[in-house]
Amino acid sequence: MERKGIFSTKSLYKFITNRGVVSRVAGIIWKCRMPLKIKFFLWQVFNNKLQVAQSLLKRGWKGDGHCCFCGELETVDHIFFQCHLARLKEIFPGISIPKSLMDFSETWLQGKGPLSLCLIMFIFTCFSWALWTSRNKMAIVKKFPKAPTNIIYVALSFMQKWSILA
């Protein structure tokens, strides 16, 4: 229902899509200037809809539920924050690196830091997409990166490619 208490198609759509609660992260995602397929990827990440092994197992997938790189249970948090390929703490000592997607949302996406939310999301997106594409190459094609720094090079290439959009 609208504020006036009148039912409308718009109010029904708002209720169906987000149960009446506006997602702050979704607003940041859609406002940032990056390729549309990457926005959809981010939406899947933040709404726990990404096709990771643990999600697929719940849907009856017969495959292995472990990370193809390190053997731990494969979840969104594992791929982007906990896997050996995702650990940036060793590369950027002294910076508080989030340990999970919730930690990232609660600390880095609050808009209280020196960087704009779109810039933070842009950097996160470049590294996430680099990790996701590398993970898919490992899982599907069995092509493993020669070194974890390759992920950084891929992320930097995405930053260069997408910087004209930002």
Residue 116: which residues within 8 A CB-CB, separation 6 or more? none
pLDDT band per the 50, 70, 90 thresholds, residue 131: very high
Mean pLDDT of 134-153: 86
Question: Could you count the other beta carbons within 10 Å of the beta carbon of residue 62?
Answer: 6
Is this structure's pTM higher than 0.95?
no
Residue spans of the domains in the chain: they are 23-162
Q: How many angstroms separate the CA atoms of 112 and 57, rounded?
A: 38
Per-residue pLDDT reduced to its tens digit, 46-100: 888 898 888 888 888 888 888 888 889 999 999 998 888 787 666 666 677 788 8
pLDDT greater at residue 127 or residue 12:
127
Q: How many angstroms separate the CA atoms of 145 and 137, rounded?
A: 9
Report in angstroms the alpha-carbon separations of 2 from 6, 26, 105.
5, 22, 29
Please give the pLDDT value at position 126.
92
